[in-house]
Amino acid sequence: MEEFNFPDCIVQALVGKSLTNADYHLAGAGRAVAFIRMAAMALENLDNQQIVAEYHAYAGISATRTAIDATGSWLRLLLALDVKTLSQVDLKRQDYRQKILAKAPGIQPFVESLGKLAGVVDEHRQRAQHREGLALIHHLPAAELAHPGGWYLAPNGLRGKRQENIRIPDLLKDWAERAEQDICKIVNALALQASGGTLPS
């Protein structure tokens, strides 16, 4: 299986320095982004093996939430945020995002974007981890279909309409790209802030 490296912005932020506890959380976010891409690639190249597909889809969805959670934990430590319990450290929570933005208002669009992504991911993650499991369907490529073959996620279950199905390698690639872009923008903005640069408020 092809391997994927950490996002470049995270490597650049961590290389050549003594790592802090916060840095390890940022590294965890980068590792999770690589895992999302690995899951997408595995599904892209997988034939009709249901249990293997379910495994990689589960891994990719879980890794997406891990990337978001690790970013939230990194921000808690980096910005020395005051939280009562670790359960509050969740970018999906508005009260937690407000704590972050009180210290670093310039990263608002990227923090809000990750919070929204967490909400989308959780709809699938709850089904995968705690309820009936993911409804995955293998479509053969056919000229009459509006989409290519491969593995599809049926968000409304196997009885839902076929046109509602989402090609899961594409979904995971999109999530990885969105997560990486937002994380990198936060990393770069906070580095600028730390160096005395001015961020938009």
Give the mean model confidence (pLDDT) for residues 118-129: 83
52 vs 50: CA distance, rounded Å: 5
Q: What is the tens place of the pLDDT at every residue in 47-97?
A: 989 999 999 999 999 999 999 999 999 999 999 999 988 889 999 999 999
Better pLDDT: 24 or 48: 24
Give the mean model confidence (pLDDT) for residues 172-177: 97
Q: Where are the alpha helices (DSSP H) in 50-145?
A: 50-78, 94-103, 108-130
Q: Which of 180, 30, 197 is nearest to 106 (CA)?
A: 197
Q: What is the tens place of the pLDDT at every residue in 2-21?
A: 567 788 899 999 988 898 99
Domains along the sequence of the chain with CATH: 8-133+172-194 (1.20.120)
120 vs 99: CA distance, rounded Å: 22
- Write down the pLDDT at residue 201: 45
Tokens coding 131: 């309820």
36 vs 57: CA distance, rounded Å: 9
128 vs 126: CA distance, rounded Å: 5
Task: Name the pLDDT band for 156 (thresholds 50, 70, 90).
Answer: confident
88 vs 46: CA distance, rounded Å: 38
- Write down the pLDDT at residue 74: 97
